Amino acid sequence: MIIHVVKPGESLYSIARFYGATPNRVASENELADPSKLVVGQTLVITEGTSKHKVQSGQSIYVIASQYNVSVRDILAANPSLTNPAQLSVGQIINIPISTEKRGTIEVNGYSFPNINMDVLRKTLPYLTYLSIFSYEVNADGSLKPINDQPLIDAARAAGVAPLMVITNLSESGFNSDLARTILTNTTVQDTLINNVIENLRSKRYYGLDIDFEYIYPENREDYNNFLRKVVNRLRPLGYSVTTALAPKTSADQKGLLYEAHDYPVHGALADHVILMTYEWGYTFGPPLAVAPINEIRKVLNYAVTAIPRNKIFMGIPNYGYDWTLPYVQGSRAETLSNTQAVDLALRENAAIQYNEVSQAPYFNYYDDNKKQHVVWFEDARSIEAKLNLADEYDLGGVSYWTIGRYFPQNWLVLNSMYDIAKVL
């Protein structure tokens, strides 16, 4: 896999020719709406052909092979004119075959709403281990608000993907702290809730449960831990897995309603998997920032691996971006857009896409029809690769996408080039 960043004056044809690739394949795999129109700074994932390497002083064929994670034999096969590999000249151009060697096997979770386009779902399922269907909202009496999840469960199982039932403390106003307190402090409500969960798991053929309780009052931290113990003790003997979603903490004593009741060591000990919600540094009502800056994710992982077994950690990856109007006014709202929509917007506005090396995220600026300036932060193949590199660097069990509702072909090309996807069904 090669990630090519479009430069001024380049066309799809010239890029494909440079790598010895087929223009139609590049256009098809990247799902380019109009292959004749590219954006400066846009990424293209190249999965066939070769890249070019200019030999530097002191480099041997073995050093070059190691740099690109390919074998010497593959380099020689791609360079039939290289009759004496022991004698390389500085400045000599060598073809580097695109590597297909993978980092290993990884588990992948994808969150989906019940109203997902079924064609998008079917295209995505080959890249998933688990499908978390969002969500059953818990009522104060332990009952559950029904959702139309059966078509997604059936599609997931047909594709060998394990469907997970998601329960939340959501209400009409969002995640509800009072509702969480009612559930977590009343054993009768908890027993009713767990019985209802088990009934759904059985009747709908779910693989396991994903608990996403957020904005829990700090004083209910141990209540949440005890509830999780009760859930695990009831579900595990029945053969169901238990996953929890946790706020992106950087320390055990991090303050804030989002963080304090999420006890990393306890969840790490009890749950089969823990999803870290490593996104929303840039968010709808906040100032313009990358949604998931790599430097901030590192801080979360540095703490997480001290408290949770690495093989249980799923690092969250966002599948969206935001468009902010500038200058930012506190409380103003950013518009959500998909990663492909972001590139389309840059094309319409004739904006060059830039890349922030600190956050490892793409962005661009433009002016709207009212002459107001905007900044857009989103994800591209480079930022996805950077995040997936972290999964390997920290030896994590997997990653989790929020959400899979908007198809982002480059993400799956990069993921599939780097890892084999584990299946548990």
- Catalytically annotated residues: 214
Going 74 to 75 to 81 to 82, the CA torsion angle's sign is: negative
The torsion region of residue 72 among left (phi > 0), alpha (psi -120 to 50) and beta comes to alpha
Are 393 and 100 a contacting pair, CB within 8 Å?
A: no
**Distance (Å, whole) CA 234 – CA 229:** 9
Dist CA 238 CA 40 (whole Å):
54
The dihedral through the CA atoms of 217, 221, 223, 224 has a sign that is positive
Whether the CB-CB separation of 380 and 410 falls below 8 Å is answered with yes
Contact 317, 108 (CB under 8 A): no
- In the block, tokens 């990856």 appear at 317
Is the CB of residue 275 less than 8 Å from the CB of residue 243? yes
Q: Which amino acid is at 88?
A: L
List of residues 6+ apart from 239 with CB closer than 8 A = none
Q: 412: helix, coil or strand?
A: helix
In 3-state terms, what secondary structure has residue 107? strand
Task: For residue 189, give Cα distances in angstroms to 107, 193, 230, 267.
Answer: 33, 6, 12, 21
Contact 264, 251 (CB under 8 A): no
Q: Assess whether the previous peptide bond of 359 is cis (omega < 30° from 0).
A: no
Question: Concatenated DSSP letters for 168-217?
Answer: E-EETTEE-HHHHHHHHT-HHHHHHHHHHHHHHHHHHT--EEEEE--S--
Give yes or no for a contact between 210 and 162, defined as CB atoms under 8 angstroms apart: no
Tokens 């403390």 correspond to 169
DSSP labels for 289-306? --SS-HHHHHHHHHHHHH
- Tokens at 21, concatenated: 């690739």
| Residues 6+ positions from 392 with CB-CB distance below 8 Å | 103, 104, 418
- The rounded distance, in Å, linking the Cα atoms of 49 and 17 is 9
